[in-house]
A and B are shown apart, each in its own frame.
Chain A
Amino acid sequence: MKKLITIISLIFSITANSQSTLPNISLNSLDGKEINVQEISSNDKIAVISLWATWCVPCIKELDAISEYYEEWKDEVDFELFAISTDDSRTIKRVNAMVNGKGWEYTILLDSNNKLQRALGASTIPLTLIVKNNKIVYRHSGYSAGVEFELFDKIKELK
């Protein structure tokens, strides 16, 4: 028990000191281009990262919900949503069909062996982050109806 307490207190002391930044990981886009996640929010750009998968019902609900307002919101604040698929080879071929079939306008990246998911400590998806200058300024896991509005409020605060 003592050990556990030591570990937990260590975690919290680290949390207090830690910088929450994205790790140095490159992912492929659907057309095979390599993109480093540390570069997507450089120069004050606001990036929203959503870790999802084609089999994850709440993830799809979240991305469907945001897609209803995506154009409108982008007119108001300049930001970009990176929908990062954690699909493995079972379902990865479905990603393109689903993204197009649903008419999503997001930038799609592939985290097919869960490199980024592991580094972000995301035991469950969806995981949604807002990142600016590579600093993670907002983190939310799970989806419930209306989260998308909270997300957009946070984005507006960063403008």
Chain B
Amino acid sequence: MKKILFFISLIISLTTVSQNNENIFGSFESNSQLLQDDSTLNFTSPDDNFRANSYFQLNYNIGNVSTGIQYESYLPSAMLGYYPQYNGGNGIASYFMNIKQNKTDITLGYFYGQFGNGLIFRSWENRQLGINNAIKGVKFKYKFSESFNLTTIYGQQRNGFELNESTIQGVDSNLNLNKFLNFEKTDLTIGASYVGRYQNNSTNDLIPANVKSIGARVNLYSGRFSLNLEGIIKDSDVIANEGIILSDKLYDGTALQLDLGYSKKGLGLNTTFRRLENFNFYSDRLAEGNIYNQQTISYTPALTKQQDYLLTNIYVYSAQPRLVINALENRSGEVGSQTDFYYTFKKDSFFGKYKSKIAVNFSYWAAIESNFNQDQSYDVEFIGDGNRYYRDFNFELKNRWNNKFNTTITMLDVIIDKGVALGGPLGVQGDIKAKVGVIEGTYRYENGKSSRAVIQHLWTKDDKKNWAGLVYEYNFSTSLNVFIADGWNYGGTDKIHYYNIGGSYSKDNIRLSLNYGRQRGGLICVGGVCRYVPENTGLNLNLNVVF
């Protein structure tokens, strides 16, 4: 604590004596909850029923030097469902100094970064998910020319408030070929990356101390067309399951992703194919497959459309890149694709007077077809006909009826493997088939006042059966709103209402939101990465101040 106060006063004193070309900024965020017993949900509040995650970040820039420090506190306890390592902890979690000069860009301390699609390397922060896998060390970027740059990283990855013992090294390069090929309307870039992990194997020579992955990619943009291709191969390594290495047998891994796009004004089409075979890379070999998404080096999010409504969020897919060989299940990874289509109708179309907009998305993800042998090896197809994990077809239509009123209609047709949705072995428990319909209407009054209502329904004969949902939100002004929401599982045995009531205030540098109600147990997903939250009831307060 003393350190922070010292740092802050230092900055303030610097600011007062300083000239121009410098600035100081930062933010304070606190997300807290007060839990209570709820016999309907069978939820017993833990003894430490007040929980808060808080972050205080301060940056100081002068000229081409920027510095920053982040203090985090999970006191008295971290919020429900967060990585237990954070629980009860507080302290300076990260700090950095960055210098940009001409062609060099160097960061000392904790840094974030990404190579290519992130398949080979991504270190990032997401507070809602409780992910911060920054690396402490040195990041050095050098721009040889407008066409060629190189980035190197070296350091240890953060794990809670500590560092993992392994060291991570990496190199990434990008070469733009337009100049060499005299392209004018086409943009062609190629890239290559390397990421390695050194982790002591104590005395077991059968476990590799050095594991590396290498990758290459091509990005092509030409008029209306785009093509991105990236492939990674990863060295052989042992596989761990819940922190235990089951055998000395080594398995290598691969990742391949292809994106194709076509778009012009009023129309966009994009399709992605991805195949992940035993493709997981962690800064600790024992962290493989941990449910908190901690200590990851590779980034392999689910490639499906992320939904935002109460009931469209119940059956969500998470990527299944792991190789698992055990008595319960055998699988080697996932393969599949998704396609997006966007279209804006002309005025006065069949769908309405104003320009109606549609978005259509289709995705299909399955196991890579594999045969597992007695000696724990396996034979694998490139795609084959493996167990289906997820299939989603969804459709969204947006209409404006007049100056005041607009609507959005969303339809979803989902099939998800029970193991993916609810846990347990994959591909053997059967499917959940669900359809969801959502109608949302927004009406605008004068002076920033508006009303928003959403009605929704989920149909399924599986799992917890049917749901109905309702949200109503009233905006007193553009700064202040209140809402009530209810997701009613009327088809389920307990017919539970997951009600919520709350509001938010946002003005200039402050955002405050408060809500009381029941949280449905399940996955909270941001950008295809999910965190499991148990069912609970209570009061939630989020405060964010920037300066």
Contacts and interface: CB of A to CB of B under 8 A. Distances in A.
A101 B341 contact: yes
Contact of B355 (A98, A103, A139, A150): A103
B247 interface: no
A42 to B, nearest CB: 14
Contacts of A119: 25, 59
Given A6-B5, A113-B112, A144-B478, A97 B357 contact: no
B268 A147 contact: no
A90 B303 contact: yes
A53 B308 CA distance: 12
B540 interface: no
B342 A102 contact: yes
Contacts of B475: 144-146
B329 to A, nearest CB: 26
Contact of B544 (A89, A118, A124): A124
Interface stretch (B79-87, B380-388, B505-513): B505-513
A81 B395 CA distance: 28
Nearest to A150: B478
Nearest to B304: A90
B337 to A, nearest CB: 12
B448 A10 contact: no
B212 interface: no
Interface in B195-237: 219, 221, 226, 228
Contacts of B29: 121, 123
Given A101-B341, A103-B344, A121-B27, A144 B114 contact: no
Contacts of A115: 112
Interface centre among B116, B264, B265 (most CB of A within 10 A): B265
A96 interface: yes
Contacts of B27: 121, 123
A158 interface: no
A100 B187 contact: no
Interface stretch (A12-20, A43-51, A71-79): A12-20
A23 B59 contact: yes
B169 interface: no
A123 B122 CA distance: 20
A31 B406 CA distance: 33
Contacts of A102: 268, 342, 344, 357
Nearest to A92: B117
Given A90-B528, A146-B448, A120 B546 contact: yes
A89 B1 contact: no
A121 B308 contact: no
A93 B269 contact: no
A90 to B, nearest CB: 4
A115 B478 CA distance: 27
B248 to A, nearest CB: 34
Interface in A3-61: 3, 6-8, 10-11, 13-15, 17-21, 23-24, 30-32, 53, 55-57, 61
B261 A93 contact: yes
A133 interface: no
A15 B64 CA distance: 23
Interface centre among A3, A64, A89 (most CB of B within 10 A): A89
B122 to A, nearest CB: 7
B512 to A, nearest CB: 11
Contacts of A97: 261-263, 268-270, 340-342
B547 A14 contact: yes
Contacts of B301: 88-90
A3 B261 CA distance: 53
Given A7-B56, A20-B25, A114 B125 contact: yes
Contacts of B355: 103
Contacts of A98: 268, 340, 342, 359
A51 B302 CA distance: 22
A153 B314 CA distance: 40
A38 to B, nearest CB: 10
A89 B443 contact: no
Contacts of B359: 98, 101
Interface in B1-33: 1, 4-5, 8, 12, 15-16, 23-29
Nearest to B445: A146
B226 A96 contact: yes
A97 to B, nearest CB: 3
A139 B544 CA distance: 13
A121 to B, nearest CB: 3
A21 B23 contact: yes
A11 B443 CA distance: 38
B481 interface: yes
A53 to B, nearest CB: 8
Nearest to B507: A140
A27 to B, nearest CB: 13
Interface string B500-532: 000010111101000000000000000110000
A78 to B, nearest CB: 23
Interface centre among B113, B118, B299 (most CB of A within 10 A): B118
Contact of B113 (A68, A113, A122, A149): A113
A11 B28 contact: yes
A102 to B, nearest CB: 6
A55 B506 contact: no
Contacts of A30: 221
Given A113-B124, A150-B478, 16 more contacts: A3-B1, A7-B4, A10-B12, A24-B66, A87-B527, A89-B122, A93-B259, A96-B270, A97-B263, A100-B265, A102-B357, A121-B26, A144-B450, A144-B473, A144-B481, A145-B452
Interface of A: 3, 6-8, 10-11, 13-15, 17-21, 23-24, 30-32, 53, 55-57, 61, 64, 68, 87-91, 93-94, 96-103, 112-115, 118-124, 139-142, 144-147, 149-150
27 contacts: A10-B12, A11-B545, A14-B8, A18-B547, A20-B25, A55-B305, A61-B442, A87-B527, A89-B122, A90-B528, A91-B528, A94-B270, A96-B226, A96-B263, A97-B268, A97-B342, A98-B268, A100-B263, A100-B264, A102-B357, A113-B114, A113-B122, A114-B112, A118-B112, A121-B544, A123-B544, A145-B442
What 3 A-B pairs come out closest when comparing CB atoms? A101-B342, A121-B27, A97-B268
